Amino acid sequence: MDLYDVIVLGAGPPGENLAERVRAAGLSVAVVESELAGGECSYWACMPSKALLRPPTALAEARRLAGAREALTGDLDAAAVLGRRDAFAAHWDDSGQVDWIRSTGAEFVRGHGRIDGPCRVIVETPAGVQRLLTARHAVAVCTGSTAALPDLPGLPEALPWTNREGTGAREVPGRLAVVGGGPVAVELAYAWQALGADVTMLVRGGRLLERMEPFAGEHVAEGLREAGVDVRFGVSVGGVRRPDPEGEITLELDDGGQLVANQALFATGRRPRTDDIGLETVGLEPGAWLPVDDTLRVTGVSGDWLYAVGDVNHRALLTHQGKYQARIAGAAIAARAHGGTELDTARWGAHQATADRDAVTQVVFGVPEAAAVGLTVAEAEERGLRVRAVDFDLGRVSGAVLFADDYRGHARMVVDRERGVLVGATFVGPGVSELLHSASVAVVGEVPVERLWHAVPAYPTISEIWLRLLETWRDGEDGGGESGGAG
């Protein structure tokens, strides 16, 4: 039997970070990983998708600048882009990540882990050997999520792409159908269209990026269409046919139509990887998301030993939010292990996650980019806040106009009128992703709007949007215009 202070199940970014945190607090830790250390993010999600997107984005931006445009004589080199993607996915070799985990002093255990009652994990190694690990203090489930496919006739046999093939494919399909309208669908539609595929997006609802302010999806849809993507709204797939797994795929649409393509990517949501991790041995339901408190401790399990960090708890399915949770959970586990019932923030660090609920940051890449933090107007109103939406056209900001000819974009800050602080911000336009952190600092710091006048943006940068938003806020306040909601 191997005894550790903490056992981490799953070595995605949150699992790795949690291990590092508890090691730094002097605890022993074993990290169990069934596939590749680094998780979905490193090999089939964030890294390869952004590596696919950056060359087309740079090219599209250069095409929008007179003087630079004239220097562009060729097309994107798809093979070179895919090769660069392979390098960013470390050629699907996790030895670098395993070395890093070991460098923290953690033990790395390759194999499929299953909880076997409180504080026990049985690992089935690739050699078929079973190894029992026991935790003195905590087991952290960091097993992430996987693509959720709709229950459609013919779909499993049709072998559709999920995010794995959508980020890892080695050849560009001639015609690609992309089902979905969220961030994964948007980014991969943009990337594969730029790489040479004819992409058709089938979106069930009426807009893209439904979790962001509506204008973000509108600008992104316009950008996709300009890039050549056929974006169709209000279309559901009712069935799929692919008699020859190597041949064309036919999507039967609810409106009676069909779409024939060489490949179909389903970006239709995520489900938790909890179906085969032994949850039933501690009274939890296999296959379910794991609800947690703000210290990332699983609720509904007695004792203080079970934590769930990253996608698996369903709070915010993003790498940086999972790593944030890992820092919080690491501090909480360390504090409790060292005997603290009252968690001592000064000693162990912050141990209550709030940003993954109140200040989630997200960027959707492409041209334009969409970047958001915190609450939309609709979300703020659902929480009962009396807010004012302050809007400004980014195409009227001098730094933006310099950034690209015919710059199109939009910004909104959502201000809590009672407290005079920002609760959310959304930017859409080329190059806006780097604006986001300024908004995050304002939201998390609860900086009074009036104080933001003293954060002077450099001229001429896109950040001058802050001045324009503040002027719009001031003019609205002077005019006394009560504009609760989206007004």
Ligand X SMILES: Cc1cc2nc3c(=O)[nH]c(=O)nc-3n(C[C@H](O)[C@H](O)[C@H](O)COP(=O)(O)OP(=O)(O)OC[C@H]3O[C@@H](n4cnc5c(N)ncnc54)[C@H](O)[C@@H]3O)c2cc1C
Please give the residue ranges that form the binding site for ligand X (CB under 6 A).
9-15, 32-36, 39-41, 45-46, 49-50, 112-113, 142-145, 163, 167, 184, 273, 277, 310-312, 317-320, 322
- C-beta of 217 vs 322, nearer to ligand X: 322
Burial status of residue 204 (CB atoms within 10 A of its CB: 0-12, 13-18, 19 or more): middle
Shortest separation between residue 284's beta carbon and ligand X, angstroms: 14
Q: What angle do CA 66, 70, 76 make, to 5 degrees?
A: 110
Contact 198, 177 (CB under 8 A): no
- C-beta of 113 vs 217, nearer to ligand X: 113
Shortest separation between residue 2's beta carbon and ligand X, angstroms: 15
Cα separation, 138 vs 462, in Å, equals: 46
3-state secondary structure (DSSP) of residue 428: strand
Shortest separation between residue 127's beta carbon and ligand X, angstroms: 15
- C-beta of 143 vs 295, nearer to ligand X: 143
Of the candidates 357, 337, 339, 335, which has an alpha carbon nearest to the alpha carbon of residue 348? 335
Shortest separation between residue 13's beta carbon and ligand X, angstroms: 5
Contact 171, 337 (CB under 8 A): no
- C-beta of 167 vs 250, nearer to ligand X: 167
Shortest separation between residue 111's beta carbon and ligand X, angstroms: 7
- C-beta of 29 vs 387, nearer to ligand X: 29
100: how many CB neighbours lie within 10 A of its CB? Answer: 17
217: how many CB neighbours lie within 10 A of its CB? Answer: 25
Sequential DSSP letters for 104-157: TTPEEEESEEEE-STTEEEEE-TTS-EEEEEEEEEEEE---EEEPPP--TTTGG
Cα separation, 169 vs 15, in Å, equals: 26
Q: How many Cα atoms sit within 13 Å of 454 on the Cβ side?
A: 4
- C-beta of 33 vs 356, nearer to ligand X: 33
> Quick one: tokens of 98?
């395993």
**Maximum separation of any 2 CA atoms in the chain, in Å:** 73
Shortest separation between residue 126's beta carbon and ligand X, angstroms: 12
- C-beta of 136 vs 164, nearer to ligand X: 164
- C-beta of 250 vs 319, nearer to ligand X: 319
- C-beta of 46 vs 449, nearer to ligand X: 46
- C-beta of 269 vs 476, nearer to ligand X: 269
Burial status of residue 280 (CB atoms within 10 A of its CB: 0-12, 13-18, 19 or more): exposed
Of the candidates 341, 279, 271, which has an alpha carbon nearest to the alpha carbon of residue 139? 279
Cα separation, 461 vs 465, in Å, equals: 8
Shortest separation between residue 34's beta carbon and ligand X, angstroms: 4
Torsion angles phi and psi, residue 433, rounded to 5: -60, -35
Q: Nearest-CB residue to ligand X?
A: 12
Cα separation, 455 vs 458, in Å, equals: 10
